Structures are given as structure tokens and as C-alpha cells.
Structure 1
Amino acid sequence: MHSRPFLTALILLLMATGAQADQRFSHRQGEFRLETIAEGLEHPWSLAFLPEGDLLITEREGRLRLVKNGQLLTKPISGLPNLVVSGQGGLLDVLLHPNFEDNHLLFLSYAHRNRQGMTTRVARAVYRHEALSDVTVVFEARPRSNTGRHFAGRMAFDTQERLYVAVGDRGDMGRAQDTSDDAGGVHRLAINGEPADGNPFANQSGFNETFFTYGNRNIQGMTRHPETGEIWSHEHGPRGGDEINILRAGSNYGWPKVTYGIDYSGLPISSRTTMEGVTDPLHYWDPSIAPSGMAFYAGELFPQWQGDLFIGALKLRKLVRLSLDGEKVVEEEDLLTNLGERIRDVRVGPDGALWLLTDANNGRLYRMVPVE
């Protein structure tokens, strides 16, 4: 829950940005508008709401930015860990600890390079007074490689404050089925980086103890269900086969043994879309939409969307709304199809609005609200 000072500050933010032109769009049950809160972001990747109403935004190019009192500050946040910007890698997710108001801890995922190659890292830091301190690396995916693809990097906390970290297959599909290799799966950690209590492969030969799931190609969205507390994710397929999954302990999601997609060359990857011992996706797309960002709606501004799942799309440049009946998708609606921008992240703000980041050299932060 966010405090009243947060909401007061957020109102001031919206007053400060109200002069900017809004854009109107239609959906099946009415209209909504987009307010441009900030622009000039260089490939923004993730955002987080601070308790007093400000926002943190990561730029893949290696900067952590602050939106303060409705304005994007020119000076980036200081104290970031050493990182590399290469291919799809750079500064990725930012995630506040559930008790951030008391401990000021946040977590950053990013790409890192040394003589052995590149990999995905996670660092814990203390955020105060527009700066990071006490920066500590708590996770590093091993082994490293020299590809610039599929770093993943999305993170989420469960209700017991365990940290989930996605690592992509790094462009080498076979690594996703190698359980002694950190690539191609989701790792569950305590905040000090140790394997979380209750991990499914603890003390099991042939498995890294941080693994929670494996057989994941490249997860670009992760969020906690507001009622069940389970962690949901989605991942990129190759040509076709983007998936939504519920992350359950010890599950193998099949990549590349099973897939609804084909190789970029047009050749098949697998003749199977399901098999024994593999967890089937809850939903998939073919052709690919290149999903990124993920949020369940639990606000008050759009009561007709309570419990719906929102997902950004990079390739098809839209926002997808999925209506659910438990774990079954019963309706799919494409929004913002005429905006023409790659949606990198989607979050529900404490004000009940949907907040979006667009992936571009001149990326934008949008606030999505109903037309009254």
C-alpha cells in the first residue's frame, strides 16, 4: 500500500504534466487517453514507483533516471554497478524491495562483461537522496558467453519476499535444457543472493540450487498475481510461439524440445508442441508479437478491467489486454495499434492508471487513463 504523501505527490506530477497534448484511443467499452509524462528517454526498459510519488526508469543504454515532481531530471542517478551495453544487453529491470519504505533497498538487473564474456547480473543497492550506495552483486548467471542476445533480466518478488530472476538462453537454445547451466530459466533467491529456502532442486545432483524453473527461452515479462500470489511470466518464441506461463516449482517449459514457433531461417526447431514432462503454456501467440512488460490490473480507474492481464508488444507495436477465467484466457483485445510505438514495459500505478514505456531512441513514459 502507498501512503497519502505518495498520492499527493502524484497529483502534483499530473498537474505539472497536464499541459502536454493527450492522445485519445478507443476500446471495446469506451475511450481512454494517453498523457505524455516524459520523453527523450533512450531505450527505456523498466520503471518503479517510489513511495513519495517520484518514478525511477532504467535506460538500456546504462542510465537510471528519475521523474521528480513531474519532470524527467537531466542528471542520472549516481552509483550504478559496472555494466556493458551490447546488443540486447545493458541496464534492464529495476525492482523495489517490498519493504522499500523502511530499508530503501532496490534491485537492478543488467549485462556485465569480463574476459570470459558477457552475462546477466543482479545487484542490490540502497537508494537515498537520488543516489545508490552499498551496491552488492547478488547474482551472476554462469557460464558467460560472447553473444549479445537473450539476457532476459525481468524480476519479481513473491509474497514471502523471495526474488525471482529470469535468465535467457543467451541465443544458444540447448542451454535451456542444461540444468547445470544458469541460462534459460528462472532463479529464486534470498535477497543476499543465496538460493531461497524451499527451492525445488536443492541438494539435487545436476541442478544449480537457485533454479526454480528451466526450459525458458527469453522471459521479458514477469509479475505476481494479485490474488493467488503466483508468479506469471511471458517469453519470446522464435518465429511464433511467444508464451504465457505460470511459474511453478521445478517445471520444465520445454524450450527447445517443444515450441509453437519455427527458426528464423524458416526451418523447424521441433515437431512437438507438447510432450510428457513439459509444462504447456497457458496461452501462446503465432505469429509472434514480441511481448514485453506485464501487469495485472487491480486499480479503480478501469473497473471493467479488474483482474485483466496487460502485456506490451514490441514487434507488433500494441498493448494486449487478456481477460481471464482463472487460468484460461477468455478474451483478447489489442489496444494502441495505431500508436505505432514499441511497448517495452507496462505497470499499474498506485493511482490506478496504466503506465507505459516505449522502446526507442526517443522513448516515452505514458500514463493511460479513461476519458471522463
Structure 2
Amino acid sequence: MIQTRLFTFSALLFCAVVTASALAQPITTGRSEGMAFQVEKVAEGFPVPWGMTFIDDDKLLITLRQGEAVLFNTRNGQKQNVSGLPEVYARGQGGLLDVQLSPDPQAAGWLYFTYSKPVGDSSVTTLARAQLSGQTLQNWQDLLVTRSQSDTSRHYGSRIAFDGRGHVFFSVGDRGHRPNGQDLSNHAAAIMRLNLDGSIPKDNPFRERSDASHEIWSYGHRNPQGLAFDRTTNRLWEIEHGPRGGDEINLIQPGKNYGWPVTSHGKEYWGPLDVGEAKEKTGIETPKKVYVPSIAPGSLLIYNGDAFPAWRGNLFSGALVLQHLNRIGLDAQGNPVQEERLLESMNERIRSLAQSREGWLYLGTDSGMIYRIRPQ
């Protein structure tokens, strides 16, 4: 009997090792800042995994742009569909967008989502939250259905970040209508700041203005698809799509104007003409970094893990058009001093990023793959 039990246990252990080995398929290796890493494919079959967040040490909640969400176990590869989602406008660039688990104790267990909510024949970027019970989302709450309706299905934004002090930020694109960039009366082309329950903080910069939306934290953004708050430095970072050329990394300050469409480093899609009045202008914030040609950013993450100590404090963004993982090193003042383009040989449109407890990076691609980067 003892021998049988030992055999059974050994067999189960062997199966677990084989499963874990089969799950993580080595793809390539590399070096960065003197650190050797390897890239592994851990899953496939996720149509446009737009957002990812760890809900515990082993489980990723992944949003799919088509309007579905999946729980993925990074240890054993199990996938479980999540129910309880609202109706989503999944057309063009719209769909189920970002997801982040709140790090704040006063909102423990709440998952925050952005999605394109159907409104009449159109849709608007919406911030919502819900709680996960098993595989079901419960207590769904739309916190802000933005005033960002347009006749297009593009430029929704939208990423989520927390400052750890009771506030949530999220971004909205210009919805394909350029004048929205300088129009404070709606929520398009802006970054919003709310309390965790969706109420408006008393110290928001436009709270006392009757001609402005009180939720706005900054404005003049074309299509911000990356947002990250660095709690070590208390800095809010944003990355956005420019037109043809002119993607921007911005250090976000309350109440500031980031220029679109008055200033831009990009050109018109229909010809070799500059967009806007100038590349820079007094009274408008200058980007910390500009990409010409565009990389088409799909996400933004501040690395703070232990697995790759030389990366701590670096910004990472997935690149959609130029198909790589973009790394930006910053100095103590928050100025970009280094750029590195990783994983170019993989030819993948990197859409979403997440960091695990171990400090490994997880990447979701438009081809439906989930990869991870870990020390070699």
C-alpha cells in the first residue's frame, strides 16, 4: 500500500512537471543591461488580449477586445471563461479594454475595467468596477460613462492606473474628432481622475470651473493607450499614439495641456504636411520622448520587480506597428536617457503587459499569444 501511494504521488509529481514544462515553451533568449533572459510561450488562442492583471500569484485575468474575459492559470495553463460582463460595443477599435486590480485597501478585491459602452448607434469609453466570485463578476458598477460620443469607432484610449492614495486614473482618446483635444466640456482626449467609488476628488484641477468637466486631470491627448503610476516617485506616465509619426511619452501634471491637435510631431496621413501649428508651443507641455517614426504603443508598465534589478524604474511599452518591446531608462529627474528595443525578431504586435510577483514580465499579443520574460 505504501509503495502504491508513493508511486501514485511520484506519478502525479511527474505529470505536474511535464505539464509545466510543456506549458512554457522557450522561444528566444537575450541580454539587457548585463542580464540574461529567456522568452517563453505560455498560452495561445486569446483573440486580442487587450488588458491583463494578476488577481493572485498564479492567475491572470485577461480581457479580450471582442467583449469576453478569461482567467488564465500561469502555473498549469488552465483557462476559464468569466461571466457577468455587460454588453460591449466591439467594433473597430472598440471593445472590452483595460482591467486592473485595485491595490488600495479601501477597494480591496475590486477590479476596474474600461470598455466601449453602446449608446444609441455609437459608443463611449466607460470606467467600471466589479468583484470576482469564482468565475463570475458581481456588483458591476459603471463609475463614469464618459461624454465622448462620436460617429467613429476609433481612439477610445484606454488604460487604468492607481496612485495608491485613493484615486484611479483612466484615459480617453479624441474619438477621431480633433477639436476634442482642446475642448474641456467633454471627456474625450483627456485623462480622468476619480475617487475609487467614482466620485470626483475635491482637488481635481477643473473642479471649480463651470465650463469644464470636473473629472479631467489633463487634456490635449490624441489616443493614450498606456498609463502607469510610479509610486516610488509619485509620477504619472502616459504614452499615446501620434498621427503618422509623433507618438509621445508624457509626464502628466494636473490641469496641463498636452497639445493635441495644436502641437504634434507627426504628419498627416494623406500627405507630407505637419499636423498642428508647431511641434512645441508656449503654454503646452513638451513630451518627454517622441517616436518618429511611430512605434504605435499598446501599453505602459513601470518595472519594479526583483527578477531584473537593472530594469527597476524603467518604462516598458508594447509596440504594435514596429513590433517589439520598448524599454525606456529614466534618470532621477524623470528624463528618458536610454531606449532599447527588445524582441524585434519575434514579429509580434505586443498589446498588453503585466508583472508577476516574481518580477517576470507577461506579454499579450494581437496574434493571441501570451509570453513571459524571466531570467535565463
* Distance in 1 of aligned mates of 2:163 and 2:312: 21
Deviation at 1:116, TM superposition (A): 5.3
Which residue in the other structure is 2:171 paired with? 166
CA distances 1:124-177 after superposition (whole Å, capped 9, x unpaired): 111111110111111111141221100002011112120111000001111110
Distance 1:277 1:97 in 2: 34
Once the two structures are TM-superposed, the CA of residue 30 in structure 1 deviates from its matched residue by 4.8
C-alpha distance in structure 2 between counterparts of 1:271 and 1:25, whole Å: 45
The code of the aligned residue for 1:279 comes to E
AA aligned to 1:337 is E
1:15-94 → structure 2 map (5 Å cutoff): 16-19=19-22, 20-28=24-32, 29-68=34-73, 70-71=75-76, 73-94=78-99
Partner of residue 306 from structure 2, selected from 281, 300, 310: 300
Q: Residue by residue, what CA displacement relative to the aligned partner does 1:256-282 show, whole Å, maximum 9, x if unpaired?
A: 000000111123222411111101111
Per-residue displacement from partner, 1:88-138 (whole Å, max 9, x unpaired)?
Answer: 010000011224797421111101112252111111111111110111111
Distance 1:161 1:14 in 2: 42
SS in 2 for 1:291: coil
- Letter in structure 2 aligned against 1:173: R
Task: For residue 75 of structure 1, report the CA deviation from its aligned partner.
Answer: 4.2
* Aligned residue identity for 1:294: L
Distance 1:13 1:320, change over 3 A: farther
Counterpart in 2 of 1:313? 319
Match of 1:341 in 2: 348
Contact residue 43 and residue 358 of structure 1 kept, 8 A: yes
Contact 2:97 2:115 survives alignment (8 Å):
yes
- Structure with the greater alpha carbon radius of gyration: 2
Taking a change above 3 Å as real, the CA distance of residues 26 and 254 of structure 1, as seen in their structure-2 partners, is same
Question: Residue in 2 aligned with 1:231?
Answer: 236
Q: Secondary structure at the match of 1:18?
A: helix
- % same residue: 37
Which residue of the other structure, out of 324, 332, 343, is the alignment partner of 2:339?
332
Give the letter aligned to residue 363 of structure 2: L
Q: 1:77 to 1:100 in 2, by over 3 A?
A: farther
- TM-score, structure 1 length as denominator? 0.91
Q: CA deviation at 1:65?
A: 0.4
Q: Which residue of 2 aligns with 1:8?
A: none
User: Is 2:218 the counterpart of 1:213?
Assistant: yes
**Range that drifts further, 315-324 or 300-309:** 300-309
**In structure 2, distance between residues paired with 1:86 and 1:42:** 14
Q: Distance in 1 between matches of 2:348 and 2:148?
A: 35
Separation in structure 2 between the aligned mates of residue 311 and residue 295 of structure 1, nearest angstrom: 6
Q: Aligned residue for 1:5?
A: none
* DSSP-derived class of the 2:239 partner: strand
Which amino acid in structure 2 is aligned with residue 154 of structure 1? R
Q: 1:98-109 maps to which residues of 2 (within 5 A)?
A: 98-99=103-104, 103-109=108-114
2:194 paired residue number = 189
* Per-residue deviation, 1:330: 1.3
Task: Decide whether the 8 Å contact of 1:66 with 1:72 is kept in 2.
Answer: no
Matched, 1:121 2:126: yes
Whether the 8 Å CA contact 2:164–2:231 is kept in 1: the answer is no
Name the residue aligned to 1:282: 288
Figure out how many residues of one structure are paired with residues of the other and give that number: 358
* CA apart distance, 1:216: 0.5
CA contact (8 A) 2:106 2:166 kept: no
Shift of 1:242: 0.5
Q: Kindly indicate whether residue 356 of structure 2 is the aligned counterpart of residue 353 of structure 1.
A: no
Alpha-carbon distance in 2 for matches of 1:280, 1:298: 26
Is 1:163–1:190's contact at 8 Å kept on the other side of the alignment?
yes
Contact 2:265 2:274 in 1 (8 A): no
SS across alignment from 2:170: strand
Contact preservation (8 Å) 1:51, 1:101: no
Secondary structure of 2:203's match? coil
Where does structure 2 lack aligned partners over 5 or more consecutive residues? 1-14
**Residues 106 and 125 in structure 1, CA contact (< 8 A), matched pair in contact too:** yes
RMSD: 2.0
Q: Secondary structure at the match of 1:333?
A: strand
In structure 2, the residue corresponding to 1:17 is in which secondary structure? helix
3-state SS of paired residue (2:258)? coil
TM-score of the superposed pair, with normalisation by structure 2:
0.90
CA distance in 2, matches of 1:63, 1:100: 27
Confirm or deny: 8 A CA contact 2:104 2:166 kept in the other structure.
no
